Amino acid sequence: MSLMKRTKIKDLLNTTEFGQQVTVKGWVRTFRNNQFIAINDGSSINNIQAVVDFTTTEESVLKRITTGSAVSVTGQVIESLGKGQRVEIKVEQLEIIGDCDAEKYPLQPKKHSLEFLREIAHLRFRTNTFNAVFKVRNALAYAIHKFFNERGFVYMHTPVITGSDAEGAGEMFRVTTLDLDNLPRTEDGSINYKEDFFGKSTNLTVSGQLEGELAALAFGEIYTFGPTFRAENSNTTRHLAEFWMIEPEMAFYELDDNMDLAEELLKYVIRYALDNCSDELEFLKGRLQEEEKQKPQNERSELDLITKLNFCLENDFERITYTEAIQILKNSKPNQKKQFKYLIEDWGADLQSEHERYLVEKHFKKPVILTDYPAEIKAFYMKQNSTDEQGRNTVRAMDILFPGIGEIVGGSQREESLEKLERRMKEMHIPVEEMNWFLDTRRFGSVPHSGFGLGFERLVLFVTGMTNIRDVIPFPRTPKNAEF
């Protein structure tokens, strides 16, 4: 440790105290003209320029100032003599803390493709783009806790390892300590899970909702925010095998209250990011514009990133029922001209992503909340509406669709009637016996309640303007990829 305390570059870039002596420690981004070191310490997306006197500095030291090396510089803060930056440091003492072999270091002072950076995810934090992305991710995570805390919600930690395989939210990852090369068998030849660590078959959670409901029916309002695992073989820009999900669950909330909360939450955290990450968002806005220059005019976004986020805050989300959505889609140009791959003909069909995109990006041009889906295409726990005049059965579901992302929130009012819930579970072949603990909420003091799941990475995608979900989580886990 040197004697002087280190100053963070973020603070230094805003300083007006010229002449003060400071020490800055960070990593070299570029070394120009044998005298200008651009140093970044992660505190800001911007670098500080440190100027070394190459006539008095040993050449062997100058040679070691390479892109990626870690340095400590001490010197006077002065108004920059050159253009392009306000402040710089006149270096009096320079120490190479950690060398970086320029021949082997993969990051160069040039534009790299996101695909390449994904292969070196352990180093991509050192780039401007990922500095900005993960600062925004951090701000959004904090804002979520702040939002719920301000409203008296209890942060509940639901289990990561679960023993129930009845959640019905997709394929699960198995958790076991059994020797896979020598599995214990029962008399009939099936695997004997009694010998496994938990004495039963266990998996990684696909949702904390069911446990969340238990807590909500005691604390009133709770939320979970944790990792979630789906073993789906999904290869898209918006799916991960390991992702983070926020799942609030509220007693005494009906569907409208649920939608109000979700809309309020999304607007709150977006506003928080705008208020606290202006440098990062400004950078990401520029990055997106650069990227879109490659695209044909009609595929570019109409609004720049920051305008888009503000637009989102200033407008109410459009709320329509599934039945209304089908009407709109049926009469839409792409449907009548048969441009949709899947044409909308009858009530009851699940909406394809081309339909969701049409509603959000072409028809309403803002976030849309779709409600009251056909019961057939939704989960067992959703509250059943009474059958309508045309004999249609719907449930009190609500999905929030965002432009460019698709479904960002999926939720519903929950079925609080024990009788109706049990009947539905039997219809959908869900083992009622195993779910007795869950059904107890309906047996003992059941109340109307609601909740939703918000995909955290999808939120980060939207706010940062990134287009691939693998670029908004530090170490993405996707089929055939669990590096680092």
Partner RNA sequence: UCCUGAGUAGCUCAGCCGGUUAGAGCAUCUGACUGUUAAUCAGAGGGUCGCUGGUUCGAGCCCAGCCUCAGGAGCCA
**Distance in Å, CB of 85 to RNA, minimum:** 6
By CB under 7 A, the residues from 70 to 99 that bind RNA are 80-85, 88, 90
116 lies in the binding site for RNA (CB under 7 A): yes
58 counts as binding RNA under rule CB under 7 A: no
- Residue 221 or residue 471: which is nearer to RNA going by CB? 471
Told to check if 409 binds RNA by CB under 7 A, we report yes
Residues from 230 through 269 that contact RNA (CB under 7 A): 230, 232-241, 243, 245
Tell which positions 180-199 bind RNA, by CB under 7 A. none
Strands of 368-374's sheet in order across: 154-155, 221-229, 242-251, 449-455, 406-413, 394-402, 368-374, 318-321
Segment near RNA (CB under 7 A), from 140-148, 218-226, 385-393, 466-474?
A: 466-474
Region near RNA per CB under 7 A, out of 8-16, 46-54, 213-221, 303-311 = 46-54
Q: Which of 227, 410, 423, 432 binds RNA (CB under 7 A)?
A: 410
Least separation in angstroms between CB 192 and RNA? 28
Taking the complex as a whole, the smallest distance from the CB of residue 294 to RNA amounts, in Å, to 10
Encoding tokens for residue 335? 């449907």
Our CB check for RNA shows the closer of 11 and 171 to be 171
Strands (E), 365-419: 368-374, 394-402, 406-413
Closest CA to 211 of 245, 171, 256: 245
Residues 419-458 that bind RNA (CB under 7 A): 453-455, 457-458
Which of 2, 21, 34, 331 binds RNA (CB under 7 A)? It is 34
CA–CA distance, 329 with 342 (Å, rounded to integer): 11
Asked if residue 387 binds RNA (CB under 7 A), the reply is: no
Task: Choose the stretch contacting RNA; rule: CB under 7 A; options: 8-16, 33-41, 181-189, 419-427.
Answer: 33-41
By C-beta, is 231 or 418 nearer to RNA?
231
Backbone angles phi, psi at 27, to 5 degrees: -115, 140
CB atoms within 10 A of CB 145: 14
Q: How far apart are CA 58 and CA 66, in angstroms?
A: 15
Among residues 96, 166, 169, 306, which is the contact residue for RNA, using CB under 7 A? Answer: 169
Q: In whole angstroms, give the CA distance from residue 17 to residue 122.
A: 36
CB of 79 to RNA, least distance (A): 9
Task: For RNA, give the closer residue by CB, 264 or 388.
Answer: 264
What is the CA 275 to chain-centroid distance, rounded?
19
* 129 near RNA, rule: CB under 7 A: no
Question: Residue 293 or 480: which CB sits closer to RNA?
Answer: 480
The distance of closest approach from Cβ of residue 458 to RNA in the complex, given in angstroms and rounded to an integer, is 5
Contacts of 25 (CB under 8 A, 6+ apart): 6, 41, 70, 71, 72, 73, 97
Which residue type sits at 264? Answer: E
Nearer to RNA by C-beta: 300 or 357? 357
Instruction: Please give the single-letter amino acid code of residue 263.
Output: E
Q: Under rule CB under 7 A, which residues in 354-383 are in contact with RNA?
A: 354, 357
Does position 51 interact with RNA (CB under 7 A)? The reply is yes
Q: How far is the CB of 1 from RNA (least distance, A)?
A: 29
Q: Does 294 bind RNA (CB under 7 A)?
A: no
Give 169 or 191: the residue with its C-beta nearer to RNA. 169
Residues 299-358 that bind RNA (CB under 7 A): 350, 352-354, 357
Q: In what order do the strands lie in the sheet with 161-162?
A: 161-162, 202-204, 174-175
Amino acid letter for position 459:
L
**Least distance from C-beta 350 to RNA, angstroms?**
5
For 287, phi and psi rounded to 5 degrees?
A: -60, -45
The first and second tokens of residue 441, run together, are 């909420």
Provide the 3-class DSSP secondary structure of residue 262. Answer: helix
Kindly determine how many residues on this chain lie close enough to bind RNA according to the rule CB under 7 A. 72
Q: Whole-angstrom Cα distance, residue 257 to residue 218? A: 19
d(CA 415, CA 396): 9
Strand partners, 74: 23, 93
> Which of 43, 69 has the CB closer to RNA?
69
Residue 196 or 223: the one with the smaller Cβ distance to RNA is: 223
Element (H, E) at 311: helix 305-314
Show the site string, 202-221: x = touches RNA by CB under 7 A, - = not: -----x--------------
Q: Are strands 174-175 and 202-204 parallel, antiparallel or unpaired?
A: antiparallel
Q: Of residues 49, 127, 129, 164, which one binds RNA by CB under 7 A? A: 49
Segment near RNA (CB under 7 A); pick from 127-135, 248-256, 312-320, 401-409: 401-409
Query: For residue 280, how many other CB atoms are within 10 A of its CB?
Result: 25
Burial class from Cβ neighbours inside 10 Å (0-12, 13-18, 19+) for residue 103 reads exposed
